[in-house]
């Protein structure tokens, strides 16, 4: 006998992909997990903030080669 969970999964898998995507978004929303759209928006905001900090001189950058050299020195590789 098929359980309710199995039946829901089977029925959901038969839906078109756009409907499954909408359902996943709703389920994740109910778990208070950010959607990919929200994550993308937050990362874009963070990138803009960091760009402004660099341009204003509030923070300075470190060349990538220096970062990797420091890592190799610290971890011996």
**What is the per-residue pLDDT across 16-73, written as a single tens digit (0 to 9) for each?**
999 999 999 899 889 988 888 999 999 999 999 999 999 999 999 999 999 999 999 9
Q: What is the number of structural domains in the chain?
A: 1
- Asked if 43 contacts 34 with a C-beta cutoff of 8 angstroms, the reply is no
pLDDT at 47: 98
| pTM of the full structure | 0.52
Give me the domain span that covers residue 71. Answer: 4-75
């Amino acid at each position: 006998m098929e359980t309710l969970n199995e039946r829901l999964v089977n029925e959901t898998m038969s839906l078109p992909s756009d409907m499954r995507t909408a359902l996943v978004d709703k389920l994740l929303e109910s778990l208070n997990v950010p959607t990919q759209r929200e994550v993308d928006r937050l990362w874009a905001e963070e990138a803009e903030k960091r760009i402004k900090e660099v341009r204003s001189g509030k923070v300075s950058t470190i060349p990538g080669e220096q970062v990797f050299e420091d890592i190799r020195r610290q971890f011996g590789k």
